[in-house]
Amino acid sequence: MGDFKHLVIVKFKEDVVVDEIIKGMANLVSEIDSVKSFEWGHDMESQEMLRQGFTHAFFMTFNKKEDFTAFTSHPKHLEFSATFSAAIEKIVLLDFPSLLVKAPA
């Protein structure tokens, strides 16, 4: 079995300072050892019709599901989740074990 992934796709509320949310998330993942890696991006290429208002994606990797569970119950995650939830208008969450088909070169 491969890594366990946590994918969050969001549309932020209009008055939100997105840079502050991203800094908060970067600080959060740097303080919690169970997070193996963290990536994020701001959509700049998709057609609005396909994007459906979503603008940002956050992608975390964990060694195993238990590490993800430890992350979600961590006090710092619970604290940040309140701030993050208040900033979003729409969200999609996907949590899944990954199956590597092609390794990075």
* pLDDT mean across residues, the chain: 93
1 pLDDT more than 70: no
In DSSP notation, 15-75 reads T--HHHHHHHHHHHHHH-TT--EEEEEE--SS-HHHHTT--EEEEEEESSHHHHHHHHHSH
* CA 50 to centroid of chain Cα atoms: 20
- How do strand 4-12 and strand 88-97 relate by DSSP bridges? antiparallel
In tens, the pLDDT along 4-30 reads: 999 999 999 999 999 999 999 999 999
Say if pTM beats, i.e. exceeds, 0.75.
yes
Structural domains of the chain ordered from first start: 4-97 (3.30.70.100)
Q: Are 92 and 9 in contact (CB under 8 A)?
A: yes
